[in-house]
Structures are given as C-alpha cells and as structure tokens.
Amino acid sequence: ISNPFIGGADKLPDGVTYTNIPIEFKDLTQLATTIKSPEEAKQFLVDTNRSFVTDPVRRAGFKQVLSDIAASDGVQLFHCTSGKDRTGWTAMLLQSIAGVPAQTIMDDYLLSNTYLQATNEKILAQISQALSPQVATNLEPALGVDASYLEAGLAQIASDYGTVDGYLTEGLGLTPDTIALLKAKLVD
C-alpha cells in the first residue's frame, strides 16, 4: 500500500470510507530478486492472471471487492498498487457484467500502458540506478500490461467455468442478486 516506487500511501479526501481488500501480489522488491529475464516477468503476469481464477484466496478477494461495490452507495473507486493487474481484472469483470464487448474490454485494459508510461519510466530509472540496468530490463514487462496476460486469465475462466458468468457465480460465489445490483449500477 505504501510502496515508495509506486507513489506511497493513498491521499484521501475527508469523508471517504477506505476499505483495504488484500489480494496478495509480489511487490517490485520481491520481483527484483526472483525475475531473471523479461520472459520470466511476462510469464509471472500470465501465471498471475491465471491465479485470479484458480487461487481460492484471490477469488475470495475479488468476491469481496465486487460484493462491496454492489452493496455500497455512491461513487466507488477501486485500485491496486499499479492500477493494472488486480484493478484490470476487476475492471474486466465489471465491464463484462455491464455487457461491454470483449474487444473494448481488451482495448481499455491495454490503455494502462499509455497512462502508466511516464510513471513506469521513472520507476525503471530508479530500479536501474538502485539495483542495475539489467534488473530494470528484466522487470519492464511486469510494469505494463500485455494482451497475453488478460487472455491467460480469460482462457483459465473458459477452462474452469466456461464463461465469465460461470466464474462470477461458481468461482466467486456471487449471487444473481449481487450481479444484478452491479449491472444496475453500471448500466444505469
């Protein structure tokens, strides 16, 4: 939450209710010690997106995020450390519930590379200086998104649950009423 590479702790306006729903993820320091090539970084994110489907603890976290959004009134904001992996997955689920076409969902997901470009350049420069240029090269794919990352999670959904709706109901255990509440909030 307070990772200095990503910008530090959240700065919230008065009156905002803050809820931390931890969906475990390695931070850059951990990745810097384990990722030894750009290909390993890409594989890490492919595997991470698959785990959003296969890991029961991560599924429970996504269930709580979606349930909290459904049960809360007013404007909602959700994010993760970088706003691209867990946030991208949550956004994909919400967009799917709202009936957004798959290509639009992917296009929106890939926009993270545009919006994070300046931040990622600063992070890579810090990593290069603090650790080494090679470590920065190795981690670069982990700072962005690639269609293959989201596609891996979607393929896992297809394999395990058939459809996103199956994942929502069987994988996450969301009730039809919760999904209907989410859809009403997103479509209205």
Catalytic positions are 80
Q: Could you write out the DSSP letters of every residue in 81-131? A: SSSSSHHHHHHHHHHHHTT--HHHHHHHHHHHHHHHHHHHHHHHHHHHHHT
Task: Give the residue from 92, 102, 46, 100 showing the smallest Cα distance to 66.
Answer: 92
Task: Give the residue from 123, 49, 122, 47 showing the smallest Cα distance to 92.
Answer: 49
The phi-psi region of residue 37 (left if phi > 0; otherwise alpha if psi is between -120 and 50; otherwise beta) is beta
Residues whose CB falls within 8 Å of the CB of residue 123, separated by 6 or more in sequence, listed in order: 5, 6, 28, 143
The span from the CA of 62 to the CA of 38, in Å, is 28
